[in-house]
Amino acid sequence: MRVGVLTGGGDCPGLNAVIRAVTKSLINHGQCEVLGIADGFEGLMGAQPRVKSLSWDEVSGILHIGGTILGTSNSANPLRDAATLEQVGRNVQQLGLDVVVAIGGDGTMSLAHGLAQVGLQCVGVPKTIDNDIASCERSFGFDTAVATVTESLRRIESTAMSHHRVMIVETMGRHAGWLALESGIAGAADIILLPEIDYDLKSIIKVCKDREERQRYTIICIGEGAKESGQSLTVRERIEHSPDPVRLGGVGHVLRERLQPHLKSEVRTTVLGHVQRGGDPTPYDRVLATQFGHHAAQLVLSGQLGHMVTLQYGRIGSVAIADVANTQRTVPLDSPLLSMARDIGICLGEV
């Protein structure tokens, strides 16, 4: 059996742990050859496929290393036109691939689902620091990102306290607020603004003014997909042919410009950016990624193709890729985390 492995979308701590677990589990089975596909689906889109054999030694010693030894791409779209799709089909036949283990987020799962039309069967492994993949309560990479943002909030709080400033910290997360919410709670943010709840500027101004008279500083954690009520999303970049053609970002600067005229305190914005993706995975993410990789190998060996590994109710399992393609898991408005945040005095930007 010849199995391809690729990492698609943005990079994320824990990818190498999955590659290691998938490869070693399949090799240990004794009847599988594993090929690493370079730069996500891009490695299957050219005139010649870009792959390398993955041996036991090749994937040893990479468990704790961030990033991906295979490379990745968040703009490669094998479904963008008929010619590209046909080329992918030819490359799959040339390589003799029986299945590809696609490690990625909702965009990667959507592409994996679409590639069935050229005969490429996939097994999915959910990856995202955004924690927004449908039917999966926790994806690897999220815990590490939360830890990174939380530490950043703590560092920013100390300088905010010293200078009596309002400090805005913008996180990633796209249209889901999980990263901003959990990091904001862990990092003791005074205001947490999420894509799921359009914020009211007057509410934020009131909290900041009240704190000017008491603590004399305010920490705001805002997800990149958040927006003021009645306003449009802040789009940083548009990318042609990409599975995710709109990249968000800059909302922290927009909020600073809106807040500053109303406050005595100086307002500053820090956009954490790709620091949230980098670094070595936490122990939790190393274990979860290894579990996901092992289960993906079991799905391959048992012939359960077209499924994605998942974590639901604390148990590793699987769901059909078709059920998670083109969908997203956002923070529900009745989430206990939101209720708790309100009860302990965190402003969510509501009226």
What are the catalytic residues? 130
DSSP notation for 274-317? GGGT-SPPPHHHHHHHHHHHHHHHHHHHTT-TTEEEEEETTEEE
DSSP notation for 169-220? EEE--TT--HHHHHHHHHTT-SEEE-TTSPBPHHHHHHHHHHHHHTTS-EEE
Tokens of 98: 């029986």
Tokens of 116: 């069935």
Asked if residues 245 and 131 have their Cβ atoms less than 8 Å apart, the reply is no
Residues 6+ apart with CB under 8 A from 205: 259, 262, 263
Asked if residues 207 and 190 have their Cβ atoms less than 8 Å apart, the reply is yes
Asked if residues 310 and 319 have their Cβ atoms less than 8 Å apart, the reply is yes
Alpha-helical segments (H) within 30-141:
82-95, 106-114
**DSSP structure class, residue 252:** H
